[in-house]
Structure 1
Amino acid sequence: MRRPRIIIFDMDGVITKIKNSWRYLHQYFNSRLDESYDNFSKKLLEKYLKKEISYTRWITCDIEYLLRNSKRKIHRKDIYEAYSKVEIYDEIKSVIKISLENNVKIFSIVSGGVSILARIVAEKLSISEIYANHLLFDEKGYLIPAGLPIVEPLGKDEVIKKLLNKLGIDENETIFIGDSIWDIPAFNIVGYPIILGCNECLYDSNKRFDIYSAFKLNRSYDDIIYVDDHLKLIIKIKDVFKPWENL
């Protein structure tokens, strides 16, 4: 294997202590959020995976639901305030520190989450390359039911390829850390795929009969780095750099 030159992080659940930055907005602005939203969201997911709607349409429907059920206008500053309360895993700070000590100088976020949160956490962690999805606002700064997709749910691999091409970095010199089946396309292309606590990522897609059967990890288990939690992630990152310890 080649020496890592970049670490790319998924955001929700990897860097942040929330698992879904879209759902978080619904929780924050609608205290009565219940399983009705989860059912609504699942239906959108099913339609997207069946190619009945685009990701742009999915985002639009999600924000329409948010605005309708919050029963208020939501300003850009309200969203910044909401996301400013999101906690970051201290272990990720340690991962970055260890990587810097091992001559990794480039860090990136590639997330299907919301770019406002991505920018907030990137500033705190000195992460320079940020790819996440944009909310849109009117001329007065109020949220509108629309969005600009940057990272499609099944498209992290394409975003990463473009990023690496821009930076002149090989896929085999790349660490990607993710925690969900949405990260499988990224795991399939990088030299160091680190799966954080996602047992579902290891399921044999040929034996699945639900809407997620399209997700397939095209790697042998020997190529995968699996960790149960963030503390073990620190240990594994140290292990990744051991071959170059004395060089």
Structure 2
Amino acid sequence: MIEIEELKNSINKNQNIDYLENIKLMVFDMDGVLLKNRNSWDVIIHRSMNKRYSGPGMKYTFDYVYRNGVPEHLYENLTETKIRTYLNLNDVSSNVLRTIEYLKDRKIKTAIVSAGSKVFAGYLADLIGIDYHIGNEVDSKNHRFIKNVDPVKKDLNVTEIQAKYGISPGETVSVGDSYMDLSMRRKSRYFVAFNPATSRLIEASDFIVNSTNLYEIIEQMTGQ
């Protein structure tokens, strides 16, 4: 798989083509892309238990907490106000603001589609100027989790965003780190694997970026 990755990176860098030409929307997964940690729910649940998060962990995925819930006493620590305090800004990928500003300069809309925390996604969107965000939630009052994003059906969310802004799949780029994110590719012209978690993702992606520097997506797609 290393050979495949090297070949794709070589092709992407050597072709002096601006792949962002005629692109009007870039959709980002959050966990593992905008955030270095691949599972924001694991961070949140650990913090709600007053435990220092040491990561990486995948025990408390959204699917897990959606099916099983958490101990009743933890919900008082899962309010929107408290969850915002659990986001460590040191976990944000480098050059996020530079990347979003570049896309804005080119009149390209930006969005977050994440099975991670909607609170985290909203915080990031406000912080760096992303146009739209959606994620999953905790109803702390009624002690339940709310699924707005199915991890394997993110294409449905992408379709909603495209309809909102009048943008077609052929004008869309999606960015993810896990094989489940490939559902977004069904509604995108290009798919970028950012720090891909599996070899299957590498094989199925148009561009591959192994870095904590988000701006390398721009460099690869524009031949900078």
TM-score, normalised via structure 1 length: 0.69
Query: 1:27-68 deviations in whole A, cap 9, x for unaligned?
Result: 213328899x956869x66xxxxxxxxxxxx51514x24x46
Once the two structures are TM-superposed, the CA of residue 145 in structure 1 deviates from its matched residue by 2.6
Which residue of 150, 153, 163 corresponds with 2:151?
153
1:114 aligned partner, one-letter code: S
Q: Which amino acid aligns with 1:59?
A: Y
> Cα offset for 1:189?
2.9
Q: Does 1:234 align with 2:212?
A: no
Equivalent pair of 1:114/1:133 in contact (CA under 8 Å): yes
Shift of 1:174: 0.8
Say yes or no: does 1:99 pair with 2:103.
yes
CA distance in 2, matches of 1:239, 1:84: 28
Identity fraction in percent:
19
Report the equivalent of 1:48: none
Cα separation, 2, equivalents of 1:161 and 1:81? 31
- What's the counterpart of residue 6 of structure 1? 25
2-structure distance, mates of 1:151, 1:241? 30
Task: Provide the rounded CA distance (Å) in 2 between the counterparts of 1:9 and 1:41.
Answer: 19
Give 1:83 deviation, angstroms. 2.5
1:101, CA displacement in angstroms? 2.8
Partner Cα distance (2:192, 2:149) in 1:
19
Relative CO higher for 1 or 2, CA cutoff 8 Å, sep ≥ 6? 2
1:119 corresponds to which residue?
A: 122
Aligned length: 202
Q: Could you tell me how far 1:11 is from its partner in structure 2?
A: 0.7
**Pair 39,87 (structure 1): closer, same or farther in 2 beyond 3 Å:** closer
Report the Cα distance in structure 2 between the residues aligned to 1:73 and 1:153, rounded to whole angstroms: 26
The answer on whether the counterparts of 2:173 and 2:189 sit within 8 Å (CA) in structure 1 is yes
Regions of 4+ moved over 6 Å = 32-35
CA contact (8 A) 1:195 1:227 kept: yes
Tell me the SS of whatever aligns to 1:4. coil
Note if contact 2:192-2:208 (Cα within 8 Å) is conserved in structure 1: yes
Q: CA deviation at 1:85?
A: 5.2
Alignment of 1:24-35 (within 5 A): 24-30=43-49, 31=51
SS in 2 for 1:169: coil
User: For 2:170 and 2:99, how far apart are their aligned partners in 1?
Assistant: 19
Give 1:131's match in structure 2, choosing from 127, 134, 137: 134
**For residues 181 and 164 of structure 2, what CA distance do their matches in structure 1 show?**
21
TM-superposed CA distance for 1:236, in Å, is 3.8
Q: Write the letter of the residue equivalent to 2:32.
A: G
- Residue 198 of structure 1: aligned partner: 196
Gaps of 5+ in 2: 1-18
Q: Which residue of 1 aligns with 2:4?
A: none
Cα-Cα RMSD:
3.2
Cα distance in structure 2, aligned partners of 1:107 and 1:186: 14
Distance 1:136 1:166, change over 3 A: same
Aligned partners of 1:8 and 1:107 also within 8 Å: yes
The one of 11, 24, 35 equivalent to 1:16 is 35
**Mapped contact 1:179–1:195 kept (Cα < 8 A):** yes
Larger radius of gyration: 1
Structure 2 residue identity aligned to 1:16: L
